[in-house]
Amino acid sequence: MNDFLKQWGEAAYTTTGFFWMALWAFILGYIISSMIQVFVTEKRMQKTMGENEKKSVLLGTFFGFISSSCSFAALASTKSIFKKGASFVSSIAFLLASTNLVIELGIIISIFLGWQFVVGEYVGGILLILICWVLIRIINPKKLIEKARKNLEGQDDDEMEDSKDWKKQIQQEDSWARVAKKYKMEWQMVWKDVTVGFTIAGIVAAFVPDSFFQTLFINSGQGKTDFTFLEVMEHIVVGPVAAFLTFIGSMGNIPLAALLFGKGVSFAGVMAFIFSDLVVFPVLRINAKYYGWKMSFFIVFLLFTALIGTSLALHYSFDLLSILPDPSQVKIQDKEHFKIDYTFYLNIAFLAISAYLVYLGFFKKKDVEHSMNEMAPKSSLLESVLKYVAIACYIWLAGGLITKFLIL
């Protein structure tokens, strides 16, 4: 019993330490994302994207890069852009870029996994888009695309205001109130995923033995870097399966990805796990609501095939360049999570900025809700379950911290 209490305390401490390490990055990332979504509207994107395929893919990638990393917001924006006339391939480019090439995700990855994974994330995001582009050109699913557009005909989109120049908007308090509202919405979209993801990472770090990972990911283990092709392929396939079962978004999955890498899972397997936020069941179901089940499964096929090719290409190109990361560089169970260092000062500074945005969002009288972007429809049952699981996580964390600091 004493051993369980000790592990419980360590799990709760590790989870809160993980979140403290990443807090300033979350705030910074969502502030940037909120600003861009307010000052660079969907209408501006649609006006800029032309008929030329190469240009539209390039612009779709660029607009995705400056868009939100929340997969549910990305799904809604992608649907809207596709409905307004953007090509299917440029819409897929936007979707992939908005979930894999965004700034905040890179910051979180750098904190937990190191620079090689940041390079892998951004280079891999581009490779995902290129592979999907090639597959779409080869398969050329014209009838499927036409049917998907017909499925969208009866659906309404929220229109965003586009009447003012962003340089003028950025000087107005009302515009920053809109940013604050968007910032609030960003946290509302991800708080459950982040809570559950970080809590699972802490629990796994404290309770799950290395032998489990060595069974799940063939021939993995601490210090292991030399994998055969078949072992790498198995890791790549199992990574998305693990992500599919967790239902957690990309931001919540990063500490768990760091844990997997620290336990000896291959670089390719961890990258596949990170790239898998668009092949989980909730995303499959939402795409089916938008475009129909056939197109939803086709999108999963595209993304999963691209994911395999990208993960293999990254692993072997990094190996060729002798820059494969070493699992020993990941020390996510560091006992000094809360020491007075740059993380402490950054967290204090960004918490102050966050407090100001909360003030604007809650006390600014002008109604700015109508200007906010649409979000993909989530399952009310799944969201309710996730909400209660998140609340249970907070109870678990409180009990663990009390046990660690007041009982043991």
pLDDT band at 105; cut points 50, 70, 90: confident
pTM score > 0.95 for this model?
Answer: no
Hunting for tokens 């096929």 — which residue is that?
301
Give the C-alpha distances (Å, rounded to integers) separating 405 from 6, 10, 344, 358, 394.
10, 10, 21, 32, 16
pLDDT band at 160; cut points 50, 70, 90: very low
Do residues 108 and 87 touch, judged by C-beta distance below 8 A? Answer: no
State both tokens at 135: 């597959």
pLDDT tens for each residue of 215-245: 888 887 766 667 899 999 999 999 888 777 6
Do residues 194 and 69 touch, judged by C-beta distance below 8 A? Answer: no
Q: From CA 92, how far away is CA 264, in angstroms rounded? A: 32
Q: Is the pLDDT of residue 27 over 80?
A: yes
Give the C-alpha distances (Å, rounded to integers) separating 41 from 17, 67, 161, 333, 380.
36, 10, 8, 41, 28
Q: From CA 256, how far away is CA 250, in angstroms rounded? A: 10
Q: Residue 356, class by beta-carbon neighbours within 10 Å (0-12 exposed, 13-18 middle, 19+ buried)?
A: exposed
The predicted structure's pLDDT at residue 370: 46
